[in-house]
Amino acid sequence: MQAVKSLRPYLSLVLLFTPAFLFGLLLYLNRRDEKLGIETGFPYLPWQFWVIVFFGIIATAGGVLDWRYHRDPLKLKIPKKERDAEAKALGLGGLPMFILMWLAMISSRPAGFLIPILLVLVYTVSAICYDEFVFHIKRCNKIENSYHRMLVFGNGIAWLAWIHYIYCR
């Protein structure tokens, strides 16, 4: 039980990297799937994937910087309720969203995934807003707000590029 408690502060960090790792791994494992449009010559990937990579890096960097910011003993420590809210947004929103988006991307009928994707999107946005408006609105300084913007807008733009790839190609 003590080992689980000592790993708890790292849960949001693990959840932050999970979609990026899975996306790269699944893309590599499915690189020969013609539906994905992966080429053997430059630029190799459709433009939407490059947008996902670029803004995903920005989002992940913002998440890591925010996580590190809260590990500095001179900075404000985040309470358990806030850490749980962030883990729920990532774990109950981000991971199901990733799974649904991946399944839609490789499906021959992605329209069947649109309603579940939108439902998870509503939950995820609500969870992020709850975290921002309950825990962050009064106490965050300029630097911490910039980390949050990197995380939220980076993920948002990456998601839009992915949804465009799935439904507009």
Q: Tell me the pLDDT tens digit for each residue of 58-103.
A: 999 998 998 888 777 666 667 778 777 777 777 788 889 999 999 9
**What pTM was computed for the model?**
0.84
Question: Which token pair is 23?
Answer: 């996306």
The answer to which of 93-102, 129-138, 144-153 has the lowest mean pLDDT is 129-138
* Nearest Cα to Cα of residue 82 among 144, 142, 18: 144
Using alpha carbons, list the distances in angstroms from residue 37 to 12, 46, 114, 134, 168. 32, 7, 21, 42, 13
Longest dimension (CA), the chain: 52
| Spatial separation of the C-alpha atoms in residues 107 and 87, rounded to whole Å | 29
